[in-house]
Structure 1
């Protein structure tokens, strides 16, 4: 398993592993030069030379073929075989004597190579290395016991359960400890990757502050009733445009549109609940309702009216079709939180308020207006309603809903009357967002009718 969180950590760990490998090589050379291999000089020379070649090869692989799982396993197997050969030189290759204890330097090499494998933090590699070394070590001790004592079973067992077996058990304990560390590292890395993926998914729909809040709250975001403002944004005639536009052009237009709408929603503290083709559903008051949800939702909708109008005009100047936007905005009680659907969990809101907001967006298209707001949302405003070319309409029947609703909609204003205000950036091309007269003018205490 390779970490995708911080690749530089994997590289640093590989560097430490390489350095430790050459420390082990230096110990092998010192052991040979200081006479720690009496009676097995040929075997020791073969181990030293082989280990040097393997070390050079491992460095080359780490440099030019990173991430090769089978190559990692191959080098671990070769290291284990060299340790086995070193054990053989001190246990079986020498003359048959009562004293067949290992030298200290030989043990150090075995433990250093174990730590070297442990630094890779992969349980599989630890098990491969330890399995080969321990199996060979115990087998050699058993063979030695048979060679020394063949008279009776008691002397055979006494010869087997000696100081050398204690060293083997110590090595096995070290293996177990390193295995546990590798297992804990795997678990921690999986959890970190899962958290990182969750944050990435949440960042597609929520502003950074809300993502942090959701991360801190963890699973404490179950479904519950709360008040929220729901906004639907949709493009008119986008389906016709999608049927004839080249795929690249379609993707560019849709990406610009989504980026503009999403950023405006985030700027006003809202969340993007979902994308449905060219439709976008936003929520103000999720996951935590606030007193000014309705105010921020209305301010966002008015900003979007201007922003999308300028985006449309910019597109027309560059040869794209005129894509007008329609926005529906409603306030009410919703059921919001994490909706668990088995293999897929979704952070969303459901309820009649959502359905009404979607139908208000459809009504905006039939009224040829960029924005329709329910009277319920205006009644929830903490501040004055921004003065604008508002037009009221009472007892509007919505499809699928028995009770009619009172709405206010914004009469479309000629583009020439708009004042230029702030800027936005799409694909590196700076354009100008306009700020409409109802936002640049002084606040009004009541809804103004143009």
Structure 2
């Protein structure tokens, strides 16, 4: 039976997967809206306490002005978040937060030139750290990095300016350098944690996307998805099974296509049930043939399951032929070919069509095993590699001599059918 296995180049993640990752990232950021709102309410409380304790030093009522502006911007962002470009709003929020944190730090540094106190120092730094956490909760590492850069830039600029121009009356740099370094370290931890979380979620998305793609082809319980990288096609050991109905063309000419089609569907259903029962998966149907794989477990377990599946199909075909005999229909005979080896297995998805496929030298060798088995009119043909995997459990078999032109075919063994019970004569 002829078989085609297209092998387009691996193009990496499909456009659909990339789009899903972008959508998920936006969804993660949007899903933090409630927590960010809570953080803003906490920030408003901190600013209210600070405004109550001091009218500000840059100008009268500056704290109340900033508090009112921050409250108004928070309300505006909450109202428009669902109706406007979320990415643009996120950048506006980041810039507003950075400006607020830098303002409070800078204002206290100027106030501390006259009378510094530890509670005031802590209160001035708290908004910067809280807003840093708020930025991290959005799971947008670039925004968090921009926030850290802006606040740290203003902070370090003020310290440098105080060293260069003592006449400005800025406080000594020593105590504030520690606060700046603490802020930078905290920013690095928040950014790194945000990146880790996004990578973890992206990996989970990839795995689920690939499992969803494979679910159309692979029975439950067989996991072909790798966790350490893309798995569009991955190397894997497999035991391969090819089934063909012998003399199918002659049956079609004699009985007609419509009637023979029903027989073919019955054989496919029988083979599919047996393959699934033994932990294999049906790759595809081509004409009157069935291609199946056994990829679960160790190579020896795959070979044992494949052979047991063939024996199961043999037994079920006997029952089917008994029923056909009673209907005066011709028996159907199958040729089963087994081979094993390393293959590339998975789903090829170019964004237009997804197809489950198996590629590799073992697939090409299986086609040669199958052709040789047909020439020898064998019921079951097993390659030498499968016999070695079976080990002591290998059944008695006869080795087939090579013929001219068969040098590229694996060494082949023919198995005798399992003796069937003899029906008792009717009394």
**SS of alignment partner, residue 209 of structure 1:** coil
Partner of 1:76: 94
Partner of 1:335: 341
Partner of 1:282: 292
Among residues 118, 137, 143, which one is paired with 2:161 in the alignment?
A: 143
Partner of 1:21: 40
Q: Is the 8 A contact 2:136 2:144 kept in 1?
A: yes
What's the CA shift string for 1:317-371, capped at 9, x where partnerless? xxxxxxxx99763124x2124479xx999865643652046649999xxx9xxxx
CA distance in 2, matches of 1:360, 1:23: 78
Partner of 1:178: 190
Q: Does residue 231 of structure 1 match 2:242?
A: yes
Q: How well do the aligned residues superpose, as a CA RMSD in angstroms?
A: 5.5
Partner of 2:309: 296
Partner of 2:145: 127
CA distance in 2, matches of 1:304, 1:9: 54
CA distance in 1, matches of 2:192, 2:71: 30
How far is 1:269 from its partner?
1.4
How far is 1:173 from its partner?
1.7
CA distance in 1, matches of 2:242, 2:28: 44
CA distance in 2, matches of 1:398, 1:46: 96
Q: 1:98 to 1:6 in 2, by over 3 A?
A: closer
Partner of 2:328: none
Partner of 1:46: 65
**SS of alignment partner, residue 134 of structure 2:** helix
CA distance in 2, matches of 1:46, 1:326: 90
How far is 1:127 from its partner?
0.7
How far is 1:283 from its partner?
1.4
Q: 1:6 to 1:89 in 2, by over 3 A?
A: closer
CA distance in 2, matches of 1:305, 1:51: 82
Q: Equivalent residues in 2 for 1:21-420 (5 A)?
A: 21-35=40-54, 37=56, 40-64=59-83, 68-92=86-110, 97-99=113-115, 103-149=121-167, 161-211=173-223, 228-231=239-242, 265-273=275-283, 281-284=291-294, 288=298, 289-290=300-301, 291-297=304-310, 299=312, 329-332=336-339, 334-338=340-344, 350-351=361-362, 354-356=366-368, 359=371, 373-374=379-380, 376=382
Q: Is the 8 A contact 1:232 1:361 kept in 2?
A: no
Q: Is the 8 A contact 1:269 1:284 kept in 2?
A: yes
Which structure exhibits the higher relative contact order, with contacts defined as CA atoms closer than 8 Å and separated by 6 or more residues? 2
CA distance in 1, matches of 2:287, 2:25: 34
Unaligned runs of 5+ in 2: 1-17, 250-267, 321-331, 351-355
**SS of alignment partner, residue 207 of structure 1:** coil
Q: Is the 8 A contact 1:138 1:168 kept in 2?
A: yes
**More off after superposition, 273-282 vs 183-192:** 273-282
What's the CA shift string for 1:71-106, capped at 9, x where partnerless? 3222111211222233343345x6x94446754333
How far is 1:212 from its partner?
7.3
Partner of 2:420: 446
Partner of 2:11: none
Partner of 1:255: none
CA distance in 2, matches of 1:260, 1:20: 62
Q: Is the 8 A contact 1:232 1:281 kept in 2?
A: yes
How far is 1:213 from its partner?
9.3
Q: Is the 8 A contact 2:284 2:291 kept in 1?
A: yes
Q: Is the 8 A contact 1:375 1:406 kept in 2?
A: yes
Q: Is the 8 A contact 2:47 2:67 kept in 1?
A: yes
TM-score (norm 2): 0.59
How far is 1:52 from its partner?
1.5
**More off after superposition, 2-11 vs 103-112:** 2-11
How far is 1:139 from its partner?
1.6
Q: Is the 8 A contact 2:109 2:171 kept in 1?
A: no
How far is 1:143 from its partner?
3.1
Partner of 1:250: none
Partner of 1:246: none
CA distance in 1, matches of 2:30, 2:270: 39
CA distance in 2, matches of 1:47, 1:82: 8
